[in-house]
Chains A and B, each alone.
Chain A
Amino acid sequence: MSVSTLDTPAPSANTRLTAALPWVAITATLIVLPLLFSSNSMISTLNYLGTMAIFALSYNVLLGQTGLLSLGHGTFFGLGGFIATHAILHMADAGVSFPLPLIPAIGGFGALILGFFGGWLASGRGGMPFAMITLGLAELVYAAAALFPSIYGSEEGVSFDRMDLGASFGMDYGPTVDIYVIIAVWFLICAGVLYYFSKTPLGLLTNAVRDNAERIEFLGFSARRVRMLAYAIAAAVAGVAGSLAALNFEIMTVNEMGATTCMLVLLMTYIGGTKHFFGPVLGAIVIGLMKIWLSDISPAWMMYFGLLFIFVVMVQPAGLAGILMDGIALLRSGSVGAQAPLLGLIGLAGAFALTGTIILIELAYRAGLDATLGPQITVLGLPLSTASVLSWGLGLICAGGGVIAMRPLFDRLATLRHSLSKGETA
């Protein structure tokens, strides 16, 4: 049985052009970004977002493509980073000259090998057992790391100097922007490889395993092997991301492969949207920026993450990318004008609910965790106090009112859309 017997029409020049368009746009964006945001801290932020985007893309090979929920993907991020770190340290010690930009290849290859082993253990079954085995493996590696201080360092981790390997490709890797170049190129490589992978026969098989593993077995494929390969590939790319993170921060700690990292990548990927190839990138950017900026403004940023995650899980499983795609489809449908008043009202109700929720959460944090800072707090420009019933009431009314108004508005929207579609066919 071979897949190539399927007759697919050769893609015309036009469709090839449309297919290439996003990649051209991404490359252009990657070139323009450091020119627009040239301060050191901004480049540093971009570097972080880039590594997280690669990491989230790798995770989506499992979650979106193969339908496997891994709770231990951070392990490979961390292991890849440690492999890269030790590769640099050893080569610098031995005086070997090795171009720094190729270090992530070492980290990725190491993670690939480990990924095969982990995949062999974990891939026997999908679904719930898979999730738990990956969780167990991650906890095992994390707990065992404490026993090997010479590999993982103790509390303070293992640090190195990325300039020790010397200059190559015309860069000495001192400035952050040099690392940006490395990360941008690796992002293009990883995204390209993973996109290509999703179109290969194996990539299509992973989708089939997600949709109906039993049927795949009947067709003579081994679902286990497909899962294992997907796991190893995801691990390899996560290893690359981990190596890049190590290059960026010049330090690797055991916490990088702990439960927090495993959870973060799940949040990023799922919130971004698992059903579109670039959804995870969107998620990585949004969550990454939230993590950097929101943590400065609000003590409740982790709470917002959690609530956003629950919101996406309950209401919009296609994630932010799904919302974006719905919006584009709406614009193209040509019936925006008729729906605009209702959509505006829904938006207003949503804004009210969001404002109310933010007020309540900020007040609660000030009343609980940060009580020592005093009862006065300014939320979204409003002067509030944890001691006043009015402040709490305002939050409750906004949040409750917004949520209660939502249901009838959505019902009306559904009716309107129904009548619109009827009008089209008539």
Chain B
Amino acid sequence: MSAEVITFSLLNGTLYGMLLFLLASGLTLIFSMMGVLNFAHASFFMLGAYFGYEISKIVGFFPALILAPVLVGLFGALIERYGLRRVHKFGHLGELLFTIGVAFVIEEAIQMIWGRSPMDYQVPEALNFTAFEIFGTGYPAFRLFMLIMSVAIFAGLALLLTRTRVGLIVKASLTHPEMVSMLGHDVPLVFMSVFGVGSALAGVAGVIGGPILITQPSMAAALGPILFVIVVVGGLGSLTGAFIASLLVGFIQTFAVAIDLSVADVFGLIGITQPPAALGALVSDIWNVSVSQVGPVIPYLLLVVMLIFRPMGLIGKRA
């Protein structure tokens, strides 16, 4: 692999990883708060992309970058207030099933409103130029903007949680809700806000990810499982773990695409060019598989391997 490919893969891997973390952070916060994985989280991401597309048609991209996440956040807060809180009495299973139902309905509603084909959500004009050139290839400014946005939000979130009074109350509500309530704070409101903010973060990811990943009704279903891999691999409820796992998955997926090496190439090095016919069709299947084809499988493989050897995740307290 050339230095050029490595540099670009590193850049894109970080970018994709940070985008994933925008989603995974909200998911992790909501999980540690309610003990429930929000299945609709990737759907909020999709809503963000569609809202972003629709709003940026009217008022432009940058106002949409604020408005769309606010809308998604409000929507998320409403879902928590009038949906999740009501099914709470049926236990975690009921809550999980409820979010599955919400994800299902959101996907259908999006098809209902915008149709089944991808939207023409373009990179905004103001950011449609080459930011810098390395190895003679330009790097788009919009990608750089995405990277800066993600890092800024990550830093802001980290500061908010560790350095402010609000962060203190949120963290305390996660572990000791009764005590926090006793001290006079409105814990249900804290929960609703965290859910709303988590959804809004997913919305931000949708607005800035929409033009790069394609804005279409299947984008939630494509990203959702990857998010769960990240949250489990990182360790359930651990923000740091989610951060590491996001970058890990980001790198794995971008590097896998960049490597054009197949089993046949490896054996070609030692002079075997044809699969031994005696081993049957299965081997000839594998023979032509290249690393880039295996790319989509690797995150799930990582999940299974992780669960066998380290069920608590990278940085998890609970096994």
Known contacts A150-B284, A263-B104, A317-B94, A368 near B112 by CB under 8 Å:
yes
Contact with A along B88-123 (1 / 0, CB 8 A): 001011101110111011001101111110000000
Query: Which A residues lie within 8 Å of B109 (CB)?
Result: 303
Interface flag for B176 (CB, 8 Å):
no
B93, A67: Cβ atoms under 8 Å?
yes
Determine if A310 and B101 form an interchain contact, defined as CB atoms under 8 angstroms apart: yes
CB-CB contacts below 8 Å: A372-411 with B: none
A417 vs B98: C-alpha distance in the bound complex, in angstroms?
30
Alpha-carbon distance A208/B87, docked complex (angstroms): 23
B230-288 residues at the A interface, CB under 8 angstroms:
231-232, 236, 281-282, 284-286
Interface 9-mer from A127-135, A235-243, A338-346: A127-135
With both chains docked as a complex, state the minimum distance between the C-beta of B198 and any C-beta of chain A, in angstroms. 17
Contact B93 A139 (CB under 8 A): no
Cβ-based interface call for A102 (8 A) = no
What's the minimum C-beta distance from A147 to chain B, rounded to whole angstroms? 5
B113 near A139 with CB under 8 A, answer no
Q: Are B303 and A140 neighbours in the complex by a CB distance under 8 Å?
A: yes
- CB of B301 within 8 A of CB of A140, answer yes
Residues in B whose Cβ lies below 8 Å from that of A310: 83, 98, 101-102, 105
A368 to B112, CA, bound (A): 6
- The closest CB in chain A to the CB of B311 belongs to A124
Q: How far is the CA of A300 from the CA of B107 in the complex (A)?
A: 12
* Contact among B104, B231, B293 for A147, CB-based, below 8 A: B293
Complex: how many Å from CA A254 to CA B69? 36
Whether B158 is near chain A, meaning CB under 8 Å from some CB there, is: no
Task: Please indicate the chain B residues that have their CB under 8 angstroms from the CB of A124 in the complex.
Answer: 307, 311, 319
Report whether B225 and A136 are in contact in the complex, using a CB–CB cutoff of 8 Å. yes
Contact between A135 and B225 (Cβ–Cβ < 8 Å)?
yes
Q: Looking at A128, A302, A365, which has the most chain B CB atoms within 10 Å of its CB?
A: A128
Indicate whether A313 sits within 8 Å of B112 (C-beta atoms), given known contacts A128-B36, A148-B285. Answer: no
Which single residue of chain A is at the shortest CB-CB distance from B297? Answer: A143
> Given the complex of chains A and B, what is the CA–CA distance between A194 and B78 in angstroms?
41
Number of B interface residues, CB 8 Å?
52
Contact (A303, B105) CB under 8 Å given A147-B289, A148-B282: yes
Residues of B within 8 A of A314 (CB): 83, 86-87, 98
Q: How far, in whole Å, are A306 and B296 apart by their CA atoms in the complex? A: 28
Verify A150–B112 contact, CB threshold 8 A. Answer: no
B221 sits at the interface (CB 8 A): yes
Write the chain A residue with the least CB distance to B35: A128
Residues in A neighbouring B314, C-beta threshold 8 A: none
Nearest-CB distance from B149 to chain A (Å)?
28
- C-alpha gap A135/B303 in the complex (Å): 10
- Smallest CB-CB separation from B98: which chain A residue? A313
**Which residues of B are found within 8 Å of A67, using beta-carbon distances?**
93
- Interface presence of A106 (CB below 8 A): no
When the two chains form their complex, are residues A150 and B297 in contact, meaning their CB atoms are under 8 A apart? no
Question: A369 an interface residue at 8 Å Cβ cutoff?
Answer: yes
Q: What residues of chain A lie closer than 8 Å to B112, measured between beta carbons?
A: 300, 303, 361, 364-365, 368-369
Q: Complex: how many Å from CA A246 to CA B97? A: 29
Q: Give, as a whole number of angstroms, the nearest-CB distance from B222 to chain A.
A: 10
CA distance A208 to B105 in the complex (A): 34
Task: Give A144 to B285 CA distance when docked, in angstroms.
Answer: 12
Do B296 and A150 have beta carbons less than 8 Å apart?
no
Neighbouring B residues of A139 by C-beta, 8 Å:
225, 300
- Inter-subunit contact A149/B300 (CB<8 Å): no
Q: Are A128 and B97 in contact (CB under 8 A)?
A: no
Chain B residues, CB < 8 A from A109: none
CB neighbours of A127 from chain B (8 A): 92-93
Q: Is the Cβ of B232 less than 8 Å from the Cβ of A136?
A: yes
A111-146 vs B, Cβ < 8 Å mask (1 yes, 0 no): 000000000010011011101110111011001101
Question: Closest Cβ of chain B: how far from A158's Cβ, in Å?
Answer: 12
Closest chain B residue to A149 by CB distance?
B285
Whether A306 contacts B101 in the complex (CB less than 8 A), given A129-B236, A300-B112, comes out as yes
Given that A148-B282, A369-B111 are known contacts, is A121 also in contact with B101, CB under 8 Å in the complex? no
A79 to B296, CA, bound (A): 20
Q: Is A160 an interface position by the 8 A CB rule?
A: no
- What distance in Å separates the Cβ of A231 from its nearest Cβ neighbour in chain B? 14
Say yes or no: B115 contacts A140, CB within 8 Å.
Answer: no
Residues A369 and B307 in contact, CB atoms below 8 Å apart: no
Does A69 touch B at the CB level, under 8 Å? Answer: yes
CA distance A150 to B285 in the complex (A): 7
Q: How many whole Å from B13's CB to the nearest CB in chain A? A: 19
Does A53 sit within 8 A of B, measured CB to CB?
no
B228 interface residue per 8 A CB criterion: yes
CA distance A75 to B225 in the complex (A): 15
Interface presence of B37 (CB below 8 A): yes
Q: Which residues of B contact A266 (CB under 8 A)?
A: 97, 100
| A306, B96: Cβ atoms closer than 8 Å | no
In the complex, residue of chain A having the shortest beta-carbon distance to the beta carbon of B289? A147
Q: Give the CA-CA distance A29 to B242 in the complex, in Å.
A: 53
In contact, A128 and B100 (Cβ under 8 angstroms) = no
**A69 pairs with B111, CB closer than 8 A:** no
Listed by A's residue number, 20 A-B pairs whose Cβ atoms lie within 8 Å are: A69-B96, A127-B93, A128-B31, A131-B37, A131-B96, A132-B232, A133-B232, A136-B225, A136-B232, A143-B300, A147-B293, A259-B221, A263-B104, A302-B108, A306-B104, A309-B100, A309-B101, A314-B98, A368-B113, A368-B115
9 more A-B residue pairs beyond the given contacts A69-B97, A133-B307, A139-B300, with a C-beta to C-beta distance below 8 A: A69-B96, A131-B96, A140-B297, A149-B285, A150-B281, A151-B282, A313-B87, A368-B113, A369-B113
Footprint of B on A, CB under 8 Å? 67, 69, 121, 124-125, 127-129, 131-133, 135-137, 139-140, 143-144, 146-151, 259, 263, 266, 270, 300, 302-303, 305-307, 309-310, 313-314, 317, 361, 364-365, 368-369
